[in-house]
Amino acid sequence: MKEFLEGSQAIAKVVSLCRPGVISAYPITPQTHIVEGLAQLVADGKLDSQFINVESEHSAASLVLGGSATGVRVYTATSAQGLFLMAEVLFNIAGMRLPVVLTCANRAMSAPISIWNDQQDSVSLRDSGLIQFYAENNQEAVDLHLIAYRLAEDKDVMLPAMVCIDGYILTHGIETVDMPTQEEVDKFLPRYQPPYNLDVDHPLTLGFLADPDYYMETRFAIQETYKEIVKFMPQLFEQFSSAFGRSYNFVEKYHLEDADKVIVAMGSVCGTIKDVVDELRKKGKRVGLLKIMVLRPFPNQQICNALKGISRIAVLDRALSLGSIAPLASEIKASFFGKKKAPKIISSFIAGLGGRDITKDSIKEIFRQLNQKEITGNFIDLKPELLQAPLETTLGNRSF
Amino acid sequence: MSELQVKSLFASGHTACAGCGQSIAARLVINAAGSNTIIANNTGCLEVFTTKYPESAWRVPWVHSLFENAAAVASGIEAALIFQGKKDKISVIAQAGDGGTADIGMQALSGIWERKHDVLAICYDNEAYENTGIQRSGLTPYGASTTTSPSGAQSFGNPKLKKPMPEIANAHGIAYVATASVGFPQDLQRKVKKALSIKGPKYLQIHVPCPLGWGYPSSLTYQIAKLAVGTGLYPLIEYENGMLIGVRKISSKSVEEYLKPQRRFRHIINNPDELAKIQEIANNNIKKYNLVAEGN
Ligand SMILES: Cc1ncc(C[n+]2csc(CCOP(=O)(O)OP(=O)(O)O)c2C)c(N)n1
Ligand SMILES: [Mg+2]
């Protein structure tokens, strides 16, 4: 049914349709509306779930770890500082092969403290073992939660999954969303049947100490699982499409057929890029967009196939790897290494950090700069007046 | 039936040091708790010596996640059991060392006490971070030399008193708080059973001597444990709903008898001033809890 909803409310609703038995979270902007929504659903008797307010994100993640280990579907959500307080636990959840699902309402990392959007938080956890999805709009945010649970709980996967949605832009944005019914969700996502869990009738030891004779194989096993995920995800996307009529893939190709300049990006900025592509195409420019929907597993093959033969690529990162090439750009470049039909130019651009708007002009500027010379890490929309000031003020440290 | 006749829920063959007080206490705890128990365990010696892959000493469901989060994990287990409708039949224990309890795990522990989860939190108090090589913790006693509070020309070892965990637990208004000692196994098991018979959060702190960390011959674990109690340095106390309901009476031996066999107190023994300070700690406990039996 079509509903006009705030992103957070839409996510709360779809999560409740997934019937998690244990929910735990800690307040942090811009995530908070999601769990407030779930708290209200539980309070109103519309969702049968143990909703537990904890004293930190570390405990929220630990609590859902315990719930998942006991064999119950669980949910948590967070942002930025909260995600990093969870980080230790999230690596642990992945290593223990527990299908926890969480939402990351993307927010910039402190310092300076900022409650506004970029993707530094989730992107920095790309090595944690979490499956990572990125939504362009609230419909995708809703749908990706259903896909996340299905994938995470698959017996051949058993890994945590994180759905990343741009803070404020999506969490607080009000859009029309086609909300699935409970029956549809129950059919697509049956009750969780844990392949292993803490059960007094079948004692299980979970969380061993592994010495050098054993540790490496456990990590290898996760790596192998990721290869399998890449192979059978298309099937899952297919099933989703026949259940709900909306089609997704690792990547979305927007006007790539004859394109000679393409931007690669993740998340809500893709909406703006599509508008710009439409405008420029009307003027006869051969431009396009490749939207990355899944960062882990990283879909190298799909990306290479989509971009092969295109001469100039701009990768737009809303995160940095300070001291090196921006994360997405670096992975895309690596994907093409040694490939015959690699683009001539893969330039890297950084925009929208700490909530700075990425406007249509910002996107046009990227297309403009995407010419014969490869660029590594150009920041778009920097303010020259701030850069001329002493470094001290640029850093945000000032004495008065 | 004696414990030997029933299958212990804590298998032998683990890799604890000879004379390890914690391993004895852990076996007493789980055998008292019974097979309908799920344990969440913090990182520390107990976790390391019982679950080195591919072997496990645990015949109950057992999970180790991290150093500081067993309490939070346990509250998730409890929540899941409630959701599954199984909580009434199953006990949940969150167990940790003194460091995992009083220092790094304090926040999560305070959280489950405040939220009133039906979880028994157990602290195996060997009075230092033993697993990482005998560093000082918030429960290291006054005067003990550890690798991070060493005695030396300018130092008499750990300069601070033990963090008053039972009082902190009581301040949360929880149902049951007690201390126990591996030197008094029946008392220990009675307290585990009593704790588990009460719904809500419970805290049990068990004194578990560590031959390696404290520097005494491994055959002396029981004697050392008994002396800690007998001198008044480790009072065995029991609270229900914040009310002191029981103390183990002692004949008040001199603290020297307890300190002397332990390398960690070697620098104290010939220092009358420091010795007197430790005697005063014992005396204060004796007075506070009225530990000395009438007629003694
Ligand atoms: C976050 C974190 N910090 C530090 C450690 C290292 N560490 C593991 S066990 C341990 C000491 C455990 O001490 P305690 O809780 O007293 O248990 P014991 O080993 O003495 O029984 C430490 C410091 C860790 N694993 N995780
Ligand atoms: Mg210790």
Contact present, A270 and A119 (Cβ < 8 Å): no
pLDDT at B3: 47
Q: Is B97 in the pocket of ligand 1 (CB under 6 A)?
A: yes
**Is the pLDDT at A93 greater than 80, yes or no?**
yes
Give every residue of chain B whose pLDDT is below 50, as ranges: 1, 3, 296
Q: Give backbone dihedrals phi and psi of A289, rounded to 5 degrees, phi first.
A: -135, 140
Q: Are β-strands B202-207 and B176-181 bridged in parallel, bridged antiparallel, or unpaired?
A: parallel
Average pLDDT over residues A247-270: 98
State the smallest CA–CA distance between residue B238 and chain A in angstroms.
Answer: 28
Distance A20 CA to ligand 2 centre (A): 37
Report chain A residues whose CB lies below 8 A from the CB of B77.
66-67, 69-70, 198
pLDDT at A94: 98
pLDDT at A67: 98
pLDDT at A386: 84
Q: Are residues A59 and A158 in the same domain?
A: yes
**Is the pLDDT at A395 greater than 70, yes or no?**
no
* Ligand 1, atom nearest to B45 Cα: 19
Mean of the per-residue pLDDT values of chain A: 96
Q: Are residues A299 and A239 in the same domain?
A: no
The answer to whether the CB atoms of A198 and B38 lie below 8 A apart is: yes
Average pLDDT over residues A21-44: 98
Q: Are residues A70 and A208 in the same domain?
A: yes
The answer to whether the CB atoms of A71 and B37 lie below 8 A apart is: no
Residue A146: name the closest of A199, A89, A115, A190 by CA.
A190
**Is the pLDDT at A199 greater than 80, yes or no?**
yes
Q: Among A244, A264, A281, give the residue marking a domain's end.
A: A244
Q: What is the pTM of this model?
A: 0.97
Report chain B residues whose CB lies below 8 A from the CB of A86.
none
pLDDT at B294: 73
pLDDT at B293: 80
Report chain B residues whose CB lies below 8 A from the CB of A201.
none
Q: Among A192, A221, A244, give the residue marking a domain's end.
A: A244
Residues A76-87 pLDDT 10s: 999 999 999 999
Tell me, yes or no, whether A292 lies in a domain: yes
The answer to whether the CB atoms of B53 and A210 lie below 8 A apart is: yes
The residues facing A106 across adjacent strands are: A166
**Is the pLDDT at A339 greater than 80, yes or no?**
yes
Q: Among A225, A244, A263, give the residue marking a domain's end.
A: A244
Sign of the dihedral through C-alpha A93, A97, A102, A108: positive
The answer to whether the CB atoms of B76 and A49 lie below 8 A apart is: no
Which ligand does the CA of B95 lie closest to?
A: 1
Tell me, yes or no, whether A80 lies in a domain: yes
- Complex ipTM, two decimals? 0.95
Looking at the 3D structure of chain A, how many domains does it have?
Answer: 2
Alpha carbon separation from A130 to A96, A122, A366 (Å, rounded): 12, 10, 31
Give the residue, out of B129, B148, B205, with the most ligand 1 atoms within 8 A of its beta carbon, to mutate for a pocket test.
B129
- Rounded CA-CA distance A59/A67 in Å is 12
Q: Give backbone dihedrals phi and psi of A248, rounded to 5 degrees, phi first.
A: -130, 165
Distance A88 CA to ligand 1 centre (A): 15
Report chain B residues whose CB lies below 8 A from the CB of A102.
none
- The third-level CATH classification (topology) of the domain covering B3-289 is Rossmann fold (3.40.50)
**Is the pLDDT at A400 greater than 90, yes or no?**
no
Q: Output Rg (C-alpha) for chain B, integer angstroms.
A: 18
Contact present, B73 and B63 (Cβ < 8 Å): yes
Residues A343-355 pLDDT 10s: 999 999 999 999 9
Closest Cα to atom 3, ligand 1: which residue? B67
Q: Where are the domains of chain B?
A: 3-289
Q: Is B69 in the pocket of ligand 1 (CB under 6 A)?
A: no
Residues A97-143 pLDDT 10s: 999 999 999 999 999 999 999 999 999 999 999 999 999 999 999 99
DSSP string, B123-166: EEE-SSBTTTTSB--TTPPTT--BTTB-EETTEES--SPPP-HH
Distance B66 CA to ligand 1 centre (A): 9
Residue B246 burial by Cβ neighbours in a 10 Å radius (0-12, 13-18, 19+): middle
Tell me, yes or no, whether A396 lies in a domain: no
Q: Is B137 in the pocket of ligand 1 (CB under 6 A)?
A: yes
What pLDDT band is residue A393 in, cutting at 50, 70 and 90?
Answer: low
Residues B73-111 as b/e (b if ≥16 CB within 10 A, e otherwise) read bbbbbbbbbbbeebbeebbbbbbbbbbbbbbbbbbbbbb
The answer to whether the CB atoms of B60 and A89 lie below 8 A apart is: no
Q: Are residues A190 and A268 in the same domain?
A: no
pLDDT at A396: 62
Question: A97 is in which domain, residue-wise?
Answer: 2-244
Distance B215 CA to ligand 2 centre (A): 14
